[in-house]
Structure 1
Amino acid sequence: MKELAVLGSTGSIGTQTLDVVRTHPDLFHVSVLAANTNIERLLVQAEEFKPNAIVISNPLAGASFRKVYKGKAEVIIGEKGLREVCRRDDVDLVLVAVVGIAGLLPTLEAIDAGKELALANKETLVAGGSLVIEAARRKHLLIRPVDSEHSAIFQSLLGQDHKGIHKILLTASGGPFRGKTREELAHVTLGDALKHPTWNMGMKVTLDSATMFNKGLEVIEAHWLFGTDYDDIEVLVQPQSLIHSMVEFNDGSIIAQLGNPDMRLPIQFALTYPDRLPSPSGKFVDWRQIASIALEIPDYDTFRSLKLAYEAGKSGGDAATAFNASNEEAIRAFISGKISFLSIFDVVENTLNKWAVSPIRNYEDVLRADHKARESANQEIRRVSL
């Protein structure tokens, strides 16, 4: 029986993680549930899984939760609770699925405590990749990626010498606006952007997929996870979401991981590695229904997010931190109706054009860069606001 801490249990990845736990109740127990504000869903989860501890990082939501919760779990309020539970003796594996830079400190804490780590938070590696990878090396700890693309690369590299990598081929669905021109995207609404053709994800990830900032974040994430140069990471559009990513080796061989677009599959593999258990969905690819598999080159001009990601990654230091923070602010402004869809790209590009790169030596450097980039992005948002 493996004891799990699910950080971000009420979000898309968190709820699907609990689906996996339901499928294998004899293998997993949820020792810790952690959420930010969704106390209604958290109450339901707490009743079903009966954790030993519950974290609510938002103080107001935490106070409300404490008033209505009747269970026996220890209730911890505040973001510090996310770090504290990573060191508990009754936790074997920490799954980090909180949104944004809030995932960085718990990740570092879990690594320092020597816990098994399943990482579903892109921003942790984008904003503080050098800190996380160095910490994992010191502890000889393997980071198990949960993103479908990075799980695919991870699986394709099992038993392989990483020195033999020629290129990582990172696939993208293309999102709801694949093939659209800038002119066609000029009047995109929030509802339009949330209609992903193949994946069921949370709002932030779905919007990032629509802009392809999601793929830009994943390029940077792949660089840190697999130690691969940016010039050796190529993005390909695979609209059926069957090929989740590929690795091309120096001898010309390519190993790919394919499967249905179901996040429970990479989640389960991250929890059970190196073992493979029966599918949590019970569904398999029916190859008789698939006449061909399509691959396309991304439109780097319309979806400038990819160019910006490569530029930020190659710049090093805190440039990727600024890339992530300015995108988060731009997405927030789009959701609230302050800026147009295309202005998301403008906000990030203008923020990075003004950015003076500084080195990242510690967590404080990440916070400083994150705060500075958000201020700069909000200045741009005010300038281009509708």
Structure 2
Amino acid sequence: MTGGPARRLVLLGATGSIGTQTLAVISRYPDLAQVHGLAVGGSRPELVAEQVLAHRPERLVVSDPDRAEGVERAVTSACRTAGISAPRLESGQGAVAHLAGSLGEGDVVLNAVTGSVGLLPTLAALASGARLALANKESLVVGGELVTRAAAPGQILPVDSEHTAIAQALAGVRPEQVDRLVVTASGGPFRGRTRSQLEGVTPEQALTHPTWAMGPVITTNSATLVNKALEVIEACLQFDLPEDRVDVVVHPQSIVHSMATLVDGSTIAQASPPDMSHAIGWALAHPEKLPGLAAPLDFSTAQSWTFEPVDEDTFPAITVARAAHREGGGAMAAYNAANEEAVSAFLEGRLTFLGITELITSVLAHPLRPQATPSGGVEGVLAVEAWARAAARELIEGSGG
């Protein structure tokens, strides 16, 4: 792409795994987009300062107000040394949503924050008319129809290896020609283990992923297969299919990122080495392709790709998510909220590994769980989520780890 920056970019979650890789892509393809604003959590102020110097954003938001002062000191010092003006700095979740909604048609918001906290920025970006490159799958899964109804056709582009693979497989395919989708899973670090073998799993073991380098929450979600469960529901919403037409298959090599089976019996697969640059570049440049974005597969050497079914008795997270999606009424908001609380407790040593999915199931089965209704809007969904978090914390405290 040539001729100067074609669009402005707001990047939410700039210091996370997807955020740093996004800025690396922008550095390699400076004509792709001009960084207008960054949103960060604030735990890595020196990295934020480096990003500001490299990309010169006009706006900077720190989602955690308690960390804003530290970020401001690091950025101000770095900019003073470099002889440039520091960006305008704001803090708080409201400021993140405001930044997400600050652009317009022709611009891009890449939402790479972790967790359901990304819902309000997602809705703000959609309302602005900007393209939403969505790495925050939780906002789509939790928001459901609130998000899909707010989006114009083609406005949401997934930044996820599985869903960008499906989108590429379906290029030129009419909806009525699609039979089912097949989402691939690496199987995580515990593929092949029985349920009894997962007793006593430590956070250190769960955070050792065989293929991908991700943050602690997503890596833990991969180990429990909750991440794959969320991706199944994301695929249902992104491609407008019921959950019984979205399959999951374990593919340890992580080369085939997902597939689409058509009504004539043919299956179209997208394959590439495991590198998130593909998904990021696809969403930012769409419908263009970035030359040399990542290394292609080398078919001059012998290699094998294997596929196997998911052991949903040992890893029931996908089964539980399918039932929650069918139920509706904010059940997926409760599912995600319970998982976020469970993962936090597990990483802190307050809950067992097997207890993560058990907790999700208990929260969903709680007799006092409220329902979200269409008339309740986003406030209703957030109310269900707040209830689920409180219920999860109470159950965790009662479990005694």
Following TM superposition, by how much is the alpha carbon of 1:101 offset from its aligned partner in structure 2, in angstroms?
A: 1.4
Q: 1:332 & 1:113 partners in 2: Cα distance?
A: 33
The ranges of structure 1 where at least 4 consecutive aligned residues each deviate by more than 4 angstroms after the TM superposition are none
Q: What is aligned with 2:12?
A: 7
Q: What is aligned with 1:186?
A: 199
Q: What is aligned with 1:169?
A: 182
Q: 1:383 & 1:149 partners in 2: Cα distance?
A: 37
What amino acid is the match of 1:11? G
Q: What is aligned with 1:143?
A: 156
Select which of 135, 138, 144 maps to 1:123. 138
Select which of 41, 49, 58 maps to 2:55. 49
What amino acid is the match of 1:365? G
Select which of 300, 310, 313 maps to 2:325. 313
Q: 1:244 & 1:316 partners in 2: Cα distance?
A: 28
Following TM superposition, by how much is the alpha carbon of 1:89 offset from its aligned partner in structure 2, in angstroms?
A: 4.8
Question: What are the equivalent positions in structure 2 for 1:208-223 lying under 5 Å apart?
Answer: 208-223=221-236
Q: 1:142 & 1:25 partners in 2: Cα distance?
A: 23
Q: 1:238 & 1:222 partners in 2: Cα distance?
A: 18
Q: 1:267 & 1:116 partners in 2: Cα distance?
A: 13
Select which of 349, 365, 372 maps to 2:380. 365
Q: What is aligned with 2:29?
A: 24
Of 150-159 and 76-85, the range deviating more from structure 2: 76-85
Write the deviation string for residues 342-361 of structure 1: whole angstroms up to 9, x where unpaired: 11111111111114544244
Question: What are the equivalent positions in structure 2 for 1:49-68 lying under 5 Å apart?
Answer: 49-68=55-74
Following TM superposition, by how much is the alpha carbon of 1:294 offset from its aligned partner in structure 2, in angstroms?
A: 0.4
Following TM superposition, by how much is the alpha carbon of 1:31 offset from its aligned partner in structure 2, in angstroms?
A: 1.2
What amino acid is the match of 1:57? S
Give me the CA root mean square deviation: 1.5
In the alignment, is the contact (CA less than 8 A) between 2:101 and 2:121 conserved in 1? no
Following TM superposition, by how much is the alpha carbon of 1:37 offset from its aligned partner in structure 2, in angstroms?
A: 2.0
Q: 1:210 & 1:106 partners in 2: Cα distance?
A: 27
TM-score by length of 1: 0.96
Write the deviation string for residues 240-285 of structure 1: whole angstroms up to 9, x where unpaired: 001100011111111111101001111100000001112334x221
Following TM superposition, by how much is the alpha carbon of 1:134 offset from its aligned partner in structure 2, in angstroms?
A: 0.2
Q: 1:92 & 1:307 partners in 2: Cα distance?
A: 38
Q: Does 1:69 align with 2:72?
A: no
Following TM superposition, by how much is the alpha carbon of 1:236 offset from its aligned partner in structure 2, in angstroms?
A: 0.5
In the alignment, is the contact (CA less than 8 A) between 1:114 and 1:141 conserved in 2? no
The percent identity for this pair of structures is: 42
Q: Compared with structure 1, are the counterparts of its residues 279 and 135 closer, same or farther at alpha carbon in structure 2 (3 Å cutoff)?
A: same
Select which of 269, 275, 281 maps to 1:268. 281
Q: What is aligned with 2:346?
A: 334
Q: Compared with structure 1, are the counterparts of its residues 264 and 61 closer, same or farther at alpha carbon in structure 2 (3 Å cutoff)?
A: same
In the alignment, is the contact (CA less than 8 A) between 2:143 and 2:381 conserved in 1? yes
In the alignment, is the contact (CA less than 8 A) between 1:319 and 1:352 conserved in 2? yes
Query: What runs of 5+ residues in structure 2 fail to find an aligned partner?
Result: 80-84
Q: Does 1:84 align with 2:111?
A: no
Q: What is aligned with 1:249?
A: 262
Q: Does 1:99 align with 2:114?
A: yes
Q: 2:275 & 2:396 partners in 1: Cα distance?
A: 35
Following TM superposition, by how much is the alpha carbon of 1:28 offset from its aligned partner in structure 2, in angstroms?
A: 2.2
Write the deviation string for residues 132-157 of structure 1: whole angstroms up to 9, x where unpaired: 10001xx4452100011011111111
In the alignment, is the contact (CA less than 8 A) between 1:240 and 1:293 conserved in 2? yes
Question: What are the equivalent positions in structure 2 for 1:280-299 lying under 5 Å apart?
Answer: 280-281=293-294, 283-299=295-311
Following TM superposition, by how much is the alpha carbon of 1:327 offset from its aligned partner in structure 2, in angstroms?
A: 0.5
Q: 1:102 & 1:145 partners in 2: Cα distance?
A: 17
Q: 1:44 & 1:69 partners in 2: Cα distance?
A: 8
Q: 1:205 & 1:89 partners in 2: Cα distance?
A: 28
